[in-house]
């Protein structure tokens, strides 16, 4: 008991004296900061790896439905069903698959891949067939040109096995 009392007396400050200042416990704070930092880095790395390994969230779009190059076809004049004339110019919106196929054919045939090698004869024939059945008044009516364009797009797409997504009119003159 004497030892305990002696130790107690040496560590107990005297009345009126300032209490001894204990150094701050930095090791616990540093360890906590280090552990937190390691956990944050591991979580971030795990998330990044999960995103990379999971792959793209959306499947790649079908090249047959994604727009590719646009090919302009020279204008032509055709007879309408009522004896009037229609001068029409067209541009065809190809799919990416058709664009790649067209470029491959052009490269193997002439040595340079260009959109000018596109054979537009099927589209011109479809225009004669579809638009030649219409009359001046049918095309002039509200929505008449849009309906003809939709029918022409369907026919041209069928003739090119889905390689043409849309037909645009670049010129449309009726007389």
Tell me whether residue 3 is in a domain. Answer: no
**pLDDT of the chain, 175 residues: tens digit per residue:** 555 555 555 555 556 556 566 665 556 677 888 888 888 888 888 887 777 777 666 777 776 777 888 999 999 999 999 999 999 999 999 988 888 877 777 666 654 444 457 888 999 999 999 999 999 999 999 999 999 999 999 999 999 988 899 999 999 999 8
Which phi-psi region, left, alpha or beta, contains residue 148 (left: φ > 0; alpha: ψ -120 to 50)?
A: alpha
One-letter-per-residue 3-state SS of the chain: CHHHHHHHHHHCCCCCCCCCCCCCCHHHHHHHHHHHHHHHHHHHHHHHHHHHHHCCCCCCCCCCCCEEEEEEEEEEEEECCCCCEEEEEEEEEEEHHHHHHHHHHHHHHHCCCCHHHCCCHHHHHHHHHHHCCCCHHHHHCCCHHHHHHHHHHHHHHHHCCCCEEEEEEEEEEEC
Locate tokens 């150094």: which residue?
Answer: 23
Tell me whether residue 23 is in a domain. Answer: no
Locate tokens 């596109």: which residue?
Answer: 118
Tell me whether residue 156 is in a domain. Answer: yes
| 129 touches 155 (CB < 8 A) | yes
How many structural domains compose the chain? 1
Quick: pLDDT tens for 117-161. Answer: 788 899 999 999 999 999 999 999 999 999 999 999 999 999 998
Tell me whether residue 144 is in a domain. Answer: yes
- For residue 88, what is the domain's CATH number? 3.30.479.30
Containing structural domain, residue 89: 68-174
Tell me whether residue 91 is in a domain. Answer: yes
Q: Cα separation of 115 and 75, whole Å?
A: 17
Question: For the whole model, what pTM was predicted?
Answer: 0.61
Tell me whether residue 85 is in a domain. Answer: yes
Tell me whether residue 54 is in a domain. Answer: no
Please state the φ and ψ torsions of residue 70, each to the nearest 5 degrees: -110, 130
Tell me whether residue 147 is in a domain. Answer: yes
């Amino acid at each position: 008991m004497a030892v305990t009392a002696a130790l107690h007396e040496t560590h107990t400050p005297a009345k009126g004296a300032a209490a001894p200042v204990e150094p701050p416990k930095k090791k616990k704070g540093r360890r906590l900061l280090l552990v937190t930092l390691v956990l944050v880095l591991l979580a971030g790395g795990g998330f990044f790896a999960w995103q990379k390994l999971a792959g793209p969230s959306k499947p790649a779009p079908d090249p047959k439905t994604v727009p590719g190059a646009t090919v302009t076809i020279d204008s032509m004049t055709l007879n309408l069903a009522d004896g009037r004339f229609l001068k029409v110019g067209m541009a065809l919106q190809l799919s990416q698959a058709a664009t790649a196929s067209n470029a491959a054919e052009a490269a193997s045939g002439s040595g340079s891949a260009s959109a000018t090698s596109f054979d537009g004869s099927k589209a011109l024939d479809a225009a004669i067939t579809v638009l030649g059945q219409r009359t001046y008044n049918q095309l002039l009516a509200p929505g008449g040109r849009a309906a003809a364009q939709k029918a022409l797009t369907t026919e041209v797409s069928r003739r090119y096995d889905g390689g043409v997504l849309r037909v645009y009119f670049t010129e449309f003159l009726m007389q």
